[in-house]
Structure 1
Amino acid sequence: MARRRRGLPVNGVLLLDKPAGMSSNHALQRARRLFQAQKAGHTGTLDPMATGLLPVCFGEATKFSAHLLASDKVYRTRVELGVVTDTGDAEGEVVERLAVPALNATDVESVLARFQGEIEQVPPMYSALKHQGRKLYELAREGKSIERAARRVTVYDARLVAFEGSAFELEVKVSKGTYVRTLAEDIGRALGSGAHISVLRRLATGPFGAEGMLTLEALTALPDQDAREATLLPVDILAAHLPRLEVDADAARRLTHGQSARADTGGLAVGDTARLYCDEAFLGLGAVTTPQEVAPKRLLSTATD
């Protein structure tokens, strides 16, 4: 006999404003309890010291969360010059203190220009990347250092928003897999003084920006479950970048039974993925197999109800 899953069948996307000092998983579990949700997952870890946008997917939305994992991100960070830490942020142990040369905003902007575009970046030891099955930060806490291969990442924009001589603030837009801590360390090294970050806030991920974020405190203050669920974005917003296909009721029935179905694919190429709808209801994703046929790829469980 199958075990009944505890909680409510909540479906949708929460734009959570993660507080400082809390792991992404802890924030996720707090949100899940507030919504009494059966199933939840987040779409890209933030360091405990970091704040800002942490999209949380509930229920059916977890099936499409991978689209956000690969998305570009926007961060605002404060870079402190003259002090290098083992973690690259203010929570680490100081490993080196260096004199900060006389700098102005133009000096910083000149160096920033060298770090825009496609760059090579060595992932930090204090990261969740794995080596022989163990996370690097676990090895780092044991005093071990593993050689890491450089990876190509993209810095689409790095803009100086405040300058204070020995510290400055940046807003950066980066590709998946970019470590802002490492970027700040490399910029500090190029400025001749070393650096670490003391503040990191994520402002955007993929199509989502900071304007829709809600704190745990704000969610707690809402009067009831209906009010909380009203804050969620619909599941299909995670696939909004994909083309949309409408299918009729017969095609929807075939698709939800795992069969290919006839559909007007609107000139999409064979192999393309599209969002599938029937009478405005989101069914999930399908793959174009011929100009007149689509096959199920990832459908909502509720689509078969």
Structure 2
Amino acid sequence: MELQAPTRLAIPARRVERVAVHGVLLLNKPRGLSSNDALQKARRILHAKKAGHTGTLDPEAHGLLPLCFGEATKFSQDLLDADKTYEASVRFGIKTSTGDAEGEVIATREVTHDQKALQLACERFVGPIDQVPPMHSALKQGGVALYELARKGIEVERAARRVQIHAIEVLSQTPDSAVLRCHVSKGTYIRTLAEDIGEALGCGAHLTALYRTQVGPLSVADAVTLEQLSAVQNPAALLAPVDSLAQGLHAVRLSENEQDRVRQGQRLIITDDFDGTVRMYGPDGFLGIGQLHQRRLQPTRVLNLKE
């Protein structure tokens, strides 16, 4: 009688239980990793149920990427709208098809400017400017990302957008390159800014590296790497509190009764005469964000930490 090999039972993969984690991870994202990949890696380390990022950082860029978990995701839009600060490495005299080092060289010119000329060129772009988004960007047109069209050799007309350049500082300079610190409004494309400065100097330019150092009130100095996150026994302890996203807002303090009413979404009359968006605190701590006008406080986003 022929003996049959014993049947091997498939052992199902162990399912990792997701838990409710609330807070903000200030991640120092490395080069070569997309923002979504960085988010998913951090989410797996934290076993978090709910997560989101506050706007993408290009895969080849590195630096501060705030990630929101749990109830913090309610406030991610505030960082999408926040100003950003970058350190941009720029190479003069060479234009590329993408505006950065990933593209093909499409033009070369002699570099003749000095330190003063670079400073004056940078100053020309400080203030409100109209900027045309680059084809190699995640901006969508007709539901398709521009970079996808660009990869097919298709170029479409893009409307200029008004952005605000708060400051450009020359951190270092060589005959054909510079590192610029750029403090800008949301929606600003640094590669386009670098190209425009190169055109103003008459030599062209492209971006060779991009490092984001600040998003709103948050700084890369307080950020951690994925390696640091995975190395600690309790990675959730490295999360900043939810209200770190709202530190730039005026704070109002409420009583226990007012706290309970805010949690029910009720409008209050309070003594604070500030007008605008505010962060709300009660005896239990941070409650959320509201709109205050003529002493009338309307809650707009309220925490729910029952999970």
Contact 2:111 2:175 in 1 (8 A): no
**Per-residue deviation at 1:290?**
5.9
SS at match of 2:238: coil
Q: Determine the structure 1 residue equivalent to 2:83.
A: 72
Give 1:295's match in structure 2, choosing from 284, 295, 298. Answer: 298
Q: Determine the structure 1 residue equivalent to 2:162.
A: 152
**Per-residue deviation at 1:169?**
1.2
Deviations 1:191-227 (A, max 9, x none): 22211111100011110112101111111222x12xx
| Structure 2 letter corresponding to 1:282 | F
Q: Determine the structure 1 residue equivalent to 2:44.
A: 33
**Per-residue deviation at 1:100?**
1.9
**Per-residue deviation at 1:190?**
1.6
User: Aligned pair 1:246/2:253, yes or no?
Assistant: yes
User: Aligned pair 1:278/2:288, yes or no?
Assistant: no
**Per-residue deviation at 1:148?**
0.7
**Per-residue deviation at 1:234?**
0.8
| Structure 1 letter corresponding to 2:266 | Q
Contact 1:84 1:194 in 2 (8 A): yes
Give 2:181's match in structure 1, choosing from 171, 190, 196. Answer: 171
Distance 1:130 1:11, change over 3 A: same
**Per-residue deviation at 1:274?**
2.4
Contact 1:245 1:265 in 2 (8 A): no
4+ residue segments displaced more than 6 Å = none
**Per-residue deviation at 1:289?**
6.5
Deviations 1:210-259 (A, max 9, x none): 2101111111222x12xx22221110121222222222223322332333
Q: Determine the structure 2 residue equivalent to 1:229.
A: 236
Give 1:101's match in structure 2, choosing from 108, 111, 133. Answer: 111
Q: Determine the structure 2 residue equivalent to 1:260.
A: 267
Q: Sequence identity, in percent? A: 48
**Where does 1:1-40 land on structure 2 (aligned, <5 Å)?**
7-40=18-51
SS at match of 2:21: coil
Contact 1:287 1:296 in 2 (8 A): yes
Matches of 1:161 and 1:273, distance apart in 2: 35
User: Aligned pair 1:199/2:209, yes or no?
Assistant: yes
**Where does 1:179-190 land on structure 2 (aligned, <5 Å)?**
179-190=189-200
In structure 1, the gaps of 5 or more residues are none
| Structure 2 letter corresponding to 1:209 | S
Distance 1:120 1:294, change over 3 A: closer
Matches of 1:97 and 1:268, distance apart in 2: 54
Contact 1:100 1:166 in 2 (8 A): no
Matches of 1:61 and 1:27, distance apart in 2: 17
Distance 1:78 1:252, change over 3 A: same
Contact 1:158 1:172 in 2 (8 A): yes
Q: Determine the structure 2 residue equivalent to 1:140.
A: 150
| Structure 1 letter corresponding to 2:298 | A
Matches of 1:137 and 1:229, distance apart in 2: 35
In structure 2, the gaps of 5 or more residues are 1-15
**Per-residue deviation at 1:160?**
1.2
Contact 1:40 1:59 in 2 (8 A): yes
User: Aligned pair 1:82/2:93, yes or no?
Assistant: yes
Contact 1:83 1:97 in 2 (8 A): yes
Give 1:212's match in structure 2, choosing from 222, 228, 236. Answer: 222
SS at match of 1:103: coil
Bigger Rg over Cα: 2
Question: C-alpha root-mean-square deviation of aligned residues, in Å?
Answer: 1.9
Matches of 2:101 and 2:19, distance apart in 1: 39
Distance 1:267 1:145, change over 3 A: same
| Structure 2 letter corresponding to 1:298 | R
Deviations 1:132-174 (A, max 9, x none): 1111111111111110111121111111111111111111111
Q: Determine the structure 1 residue equivalent to 2:140.
A: 130
SS at match of 1:63: helix
SS at match of 1:274: strand
User: Aligned pair 1:62/2:73, yes or no?
Assistant: yes
Matches of 2:161 and 2:285, distance apart in 1: 41
Contact 1:85 1:92 in 2 (8 A): yes
- Under a length normalisation based on structure 1, what TM-score does the superposition of the two structures give? 0.90
| Structure 2 letter corresponding to 1:284 | G
